[in-house]
Structures are given as C-alpha cells and as structure tokens.
Amino acid sequence: MERTFVAIKPDGVKRGLIGKIVQRFEDKSYKIVAMKMMNVTPEIAAKHYEEHFGKPFYDKLIAFITMGPIVAMAVEGKNAIKGVRHLVGKTNPDEADDGSIRADFSSYSTTNLVHASDSPESAERELNLYFSEKEICNNYKNMFELVLDELGEE
C-alpha cells in the first residue's frame, strides 16, 4: 500500500465541502489514516511550497494556503499517489476530467480546493511536514482491505 498527502485548501473548507471531498476518497476505497483541521503557518507554507520559491506566483500560494484553515490528510491505498491525483483532477479545473473533484467543484486554478502530492518524494516530505508518526493510525483495515484479505489478494 502507498501513502500520500492530501489537503483540502481554505476555499474547500470555507465552502463547506470537507465531507463531499473526503467521501470521494472513501468511495474509491482509499483509507484516511490521519486527518486534522489546522491553520498553516507561513513557515510551514514556505516549506510546503519550497520548490516554487522565486516563481511569480509563489507569494500568492503562500497567502492563499495561510488565509484560513485546511484539512490535512494522510491517504493510503494501492497506487494512492497516482490514483488520488487522478481523482483530484488537473490544476486547472477547466482541463480536469469530468467527475474529478476540481472539475465538479472548482472554478479557478488558483483556488482549486485540494492539494495532492505528485510523487513519492513529495508525499513523504509533505506527510512529515504535517503529521508526526504518532498521528498516523495504522491499526485498522477498511472494508476494501477486509474483502481483499477474504479473497486472499493484495
């Protein structure tokens, strides 16, 4: 199983979409192994977006992610990084596949509701930025895992 980082950004929280967005991941049998609502400090935001430092949109990224609370999640499942990114949709909602979170709920590429790690390296860095190991719940199986166990599959 693979683990990735997902954040419901301030626009998703303010619009009351937390439940609908979380439901999308659970409907696809991804397991939420950690979740918390939090305010992102400028220091955390700078570390989160460090690869964009110096780019023209960097200051807007920092201002947006720190403007209100986010819901940070550790999401686990088979091929979670790729699968979650597909479920979230392309950055620009106009280019996102129908049925993706961004296509269904977002109107602007700068306020696109959700962040999802784009690689194993980013997932590890971002998970460590937002969660300690003791905040991750590794000790339960969701229904999908129980069915796979019953079938003897991984």
76-125 pLDDT, tens per residue?
999 999 999 999 999 888 899 999 999 999 877 778 899 999 999 999 99
Active site (catalytic) residues: 115
Tell me the C-alpha distance between 5 and 114, whole Å.
11
pLDDT at 149 over 80: no
Q: For residue 1, what pLDDT is reported? A: 85
Q: For residue 143, what pLDDT is reported? A: 65
Q: How confident is the model at residue 146 (pLDDT cuts 50, 70, 90)?
A: low
The number of folded domains in the chain is 1
DSSP string covering the chain = -EEEEEEE-HHHHHTT-HHHHHHHHHHTT-EEEEEEEEPPPHHHHHHHTGGGTTSTTHHHHHHHHTSS-EEEEEEEETTHHHHHHHHH--SSGGGSPTTSHHHHH---SSS-SEEE--SHHHHHHHHHHH--GGG---S---HHHHHHHHHT--
Residue 151 or residue 61, greater confidence: 61
Output the domain CATH number for residue 56: 3.30.70.141
Domain containing 50: what range? 2-151
Q: How confident is the model at residue 144 (pLDDT cuts 50, 70, 90)?
A: low
Least Cα distance to 35 among 113, 130, 118, 120 occurs for 130
